[in-house]
């Protein structure tokens, strides 16, 4: 039994098989039953790990995906992810200390996501910056959000390509950050250019004079049960004085899976082309983003 929305908790695996083979341990907690599988080969531990706050500190919207393959990171890979995170958090500290605190608190969980990304991309080595044949990590940006305008995966998003501007929206007409009402958005799934992004908790950041929406909804191909999120009246206030920066609340960290479609809709309050930026991380095979390419 799995749920798309999880609340803060902490869990560590009590058993581990360190030889060739597999140990499967069944845990029973109240009415919830879940399995973990783990095998260690060489220096890495490959496992199937829960997508929940038994694994993460931060609230997670898993989209109905209960577990996924996971590989332990070595120290150099952890340091690579930390270097990328620190670069962004240091800049947040220079411009918006409140934003810096929001994202710095999620630091450990972004490192954990690196283990899921590594397992999804054939256990290639994570580095920062990326190297040929390896996995890179970067803050979400227009180039990591969309691979092309016709790839049938990342093309289904609401932003103008190569931009942080959402395409023109109309007051009172539902629109989409991801998906389009018919098609689902997925991170790019094709080797050797695979990607996987994770939007930070409260990582929907709008820049401008006033927010362009208050109500939004997220669902996936596996999980359509949740209704809208309506933000409190304070959403109209900027996060820092004298800065036109507004933070929209989310259900938690939101993984943009390569194998599970997501739809994230919202209801515009005004007609405009808002600047909405996603704060979070993208893990990707080097060939997905080897240089500052213009997406077409």
Mean pLDDT of the chain: 87
Separation CA 157–CA 164 (nearest Å): 11
**Rounded CA Rg of the chain:** 19
Is the pLDDT at 7 greater than 90, yes or no?
no
pLDDT band at 45 (very low <50, low <70, confident <90, very high): low
Residues 6+ apart with CB under 8 A from 288: 136, 144, 147, 188, 193, 194, 195
* Residue, of 33 and 236, whose pLDDT is higher: 236
For residue 47, pLDDT beyond 80: yes
Residue percentage of the chain with pLDDT more than 90: 82
Q: Which residue has the higher pLDDT, 241 or 180?
A: 180
User: Which pLDDT score is estimated for 16?
Assistant: 37
User: Which residue(s) pair with 267 in the sheet?
Assistant: 215
| Overall average pLDDT of the 70-98 stretch | 97
Give the pLDDT score at 52.
87
- Domain map (residue ranges) of the chain: 5-71, 76-288
Kindly report whether the peptide bond that precedes residue 129 is cis, defined as omega within 30 degrees of 0: yes
What tens digit of pLDDT does each residue of 202-229 get? 999 999 989 999 999 999 999 999 999 9
What is the model's pLDDT at position 243?
87
Is pLDDT larger for residue 283 or for residue 4? 283
């Amino acid at each position: 039994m799995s749920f798309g929305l999880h609340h803060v908790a902490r869990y560590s695996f009590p058993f581990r098989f360190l030889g060739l083979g597999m140990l499967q341990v069944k845990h029973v907690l109240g009415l919830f039953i879940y399995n973990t599988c783990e095998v260690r080969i060489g220096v890495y531990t490959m496992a199937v790990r829960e997508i929940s706050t038994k694994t993460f500190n931060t609230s997670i919207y898993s989209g109905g995906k209960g577990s996924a393959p996971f590989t332990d990171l070595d120290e150099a890979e952890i340091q690579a992810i930390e270097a990328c995170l620190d670069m962004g958090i240091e800049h947040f500290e220079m411009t918006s200390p409140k934003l810096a605190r929001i994202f710095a608190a999620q630091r450990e969980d972004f490192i954990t996501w690196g283990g899921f990304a590594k397992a999804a991309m054939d256990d290639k080595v994570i580095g920062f910056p990326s190297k040929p044949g390896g996995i890179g990590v970067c803050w979400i940006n227009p180039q990591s959000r969309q691979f092309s305008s016709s790839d049938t995966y990342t093309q289904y998003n609401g932003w103008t390509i190569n931009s942080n501007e959402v395409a023109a929206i109309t007051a009172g007409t539902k629109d989409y950050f991801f998906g389009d009402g018919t098609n689902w958005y997925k991170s790019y799934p094709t080797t050797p250019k695979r990607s996987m992004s994770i939007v930070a908790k409260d990582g929907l950041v709008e820049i401008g004079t006033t927010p362009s929406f208050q109500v939004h909804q997220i669902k996936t191909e596996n999980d359509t049960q949740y209704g809208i999120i309506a933000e409190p009246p304070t959403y109209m206030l900027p996060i820092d004085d004298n800065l036109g920066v507004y933070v929209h609340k989310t259900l938690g960290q939101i993984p943009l899976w390569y194998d599970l479609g997501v739809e994230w809709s919202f209801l515009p309050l005004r007609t405009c082309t808002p600047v909405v930026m996603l704060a979070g991380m993208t893990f990707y095979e080097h060939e997905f983003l080897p240089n500052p390419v213009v997406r077409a």
